[in-house]
Amino acid sequence: MQLNETHDINLTSWVSSANDGKTDFPIQNLPFATFRRAGSSEAFRGGVAIGDQVVDLAVVAKLGIFSGLAQEALEAASQTSLNAFMAMGQAHWSALRLALSQALRTGSEHEQALSDALIAQAKVEYDLPCHIGDYTDFYTSIYHATAVGSLFRPDNPLLPNYKWVPIGYHGRASSIGVSGQTFPRPKGQTKAPDADTPTFGPCKRLDYELELGIYLGKGNALGESIALDDADEHVFGFCLFNDWSARDLQAWEYQPLGPFLAKNFASTVSPWVVTNEALVPYRLAWTRDESDPQPLEYLESTKNREQGALDIQMDVAVETEKMRAEGTPAAKLSQSSFKHSYWTVAQMVAHHTVNGCNFNAGDMLGSGTQSGPEHEEAGSLLELSRGGKESLDLGNGESRKFLEDGDTVIMRGWCEKQGFARIGFGECRATVLPAN
């Protein structure tokens, strides 16, 4: 994974909307999704974002303008899901990315042919980009872990294994939906601290979690592990991920086995998958405080130290029913960066498979809530409201401790660095409906 011509800040596209410096999807990005025309009965198929347009890969595959690995990858990426393309591996991913970059550049000989393959993003709808067979949610922000731990366990907020082991749990893939998802407020058991018995009913402390989703591409055989420095051969790309959480259900059920009904009712991903290769310019050195335990050998390498971190900026906003009725903008709640993560993506992959666990193409990892070192960088309402003790002023006469019915949570992500183009992830939004 190295810088190459696709990252050149001077590249422009004949798709003019890709050149305004504000779009999430300049030619240096080229993320993948599955889409169809909105309201149609067309089959979903693979697409690539460029400016405010989608390149219909099924149309491009029939043009015969690519060859070799790029054409093989194109045919796989034009299917109803991206799983087959994701399974091909880095050589095919890079070949198609390069071919698309060259074909979409200003002055390309393929401009006329590809013009007929463009559809405005405003006229499409999305499916999940791939079949997600399994999903594991990690817990990689030490700031989030410490803040939440102090609420649930004031005398012992950070358990001793946290600084040694990338903590994760097996989530529920079937309830992951694409941006635009709506879901009813979950119901379950809760127990007040002063009550003798639990009660059943709708969740009263509904929360979001601001996370990254990490899609796995090429898998590994059962019994084989993925070495730390080989993780890039298996990580296809990234999305925004909202891991909805029912905090009152969670407090009652999470011991001794961890999250269950508090997490499995809904999760939301952004439709576009930003490739691992597109993010190369935004890699950073990863460090571990000298006073903390240093990683065990299988989680330690020079490469991981030099380029294991990623500076992906993320923010979250809430849009209430009142805001929609009055036409006022959503209220921004917080902003953070994945660079604060205590564990890297490569460490998550290496640890997940060190016992022989096998990945399949399309499997997803959640990063865990991405909170920064400052309180205003918290990635959940649980932290921002200090466990429901403080209200957040939304600036329009409304306030929130936790989410109310009708609230829409909107997450965005982007990368920017001097000398490189700004690229983005699009939007991840979903709306809470009343309990059934």
Cα 130–chain centre separation: 14
Kindly state which CATH superfamily the domain 135-433 is placed in: Fumarylacetoacetase-like, C-terminal domain (3.90.850.10)
Confidence of residue 164 (pLDDT cuts 50, 70, 90): very high
Q: What is the pLDDT of residue 156?
A: 83
Rg of the Cα atoms in the chain:
22
Q: Domain boundaries in the chain?
A: 5-127, 135-433
Catalytic residue numbers, as ranges: 144
The whole-number average pLDDT for the span 121-127 is: 98
| 329, two tokens | 């903008």
CATH no. of 5-127 = 2.30.30.230
Q: What is the pLDDT of residue 204?
A: 97
Is residue 391's pLDDT more than 90?
A: yes
Q: What is the pLDDT of residue 58?
A: 98
Confidence of residue 154 (pLDDT cuts 50, 70, 90): confident
CA distance 328 to 408: 13
Is residue 418's pLDDT more than 90?
A: yes
The whole-number average pLDDT for the span 310-328 is: 98
Confidence of residue 127 (pLDDT cuts 50, 70, 90): very high
156 or 77, greater pLDDT: 77
Mean pLDDT of the chain: 97
Condensed to tens digits (0 to 9), the pLDDT of residues 346-368 reads 999 999 999 999 999 999 999 99
∠ CA 220-222-223, rounded to 5°: 105
The whole-number average pLDDT for the span 256-275 is: 95
Confidence of residue 1 (pLDDT cuts 50, 70, 90): confident
258 and 171 Cβ atoms separated by less than 8 Å: no
Confidence of residue 303 (pLDDT cuts 50, 70, 90): very high
> How much of the chain, in percent, has pLDDT values that exceed 70?
100
Confidence of residue 153 (pLDDT cuts 50, 70, 90): confident
Do the domains at 5-127 and 135-433 have one common CATH topology?
A: no
Specify which residues 318 forms β-bridges with: 331, 409
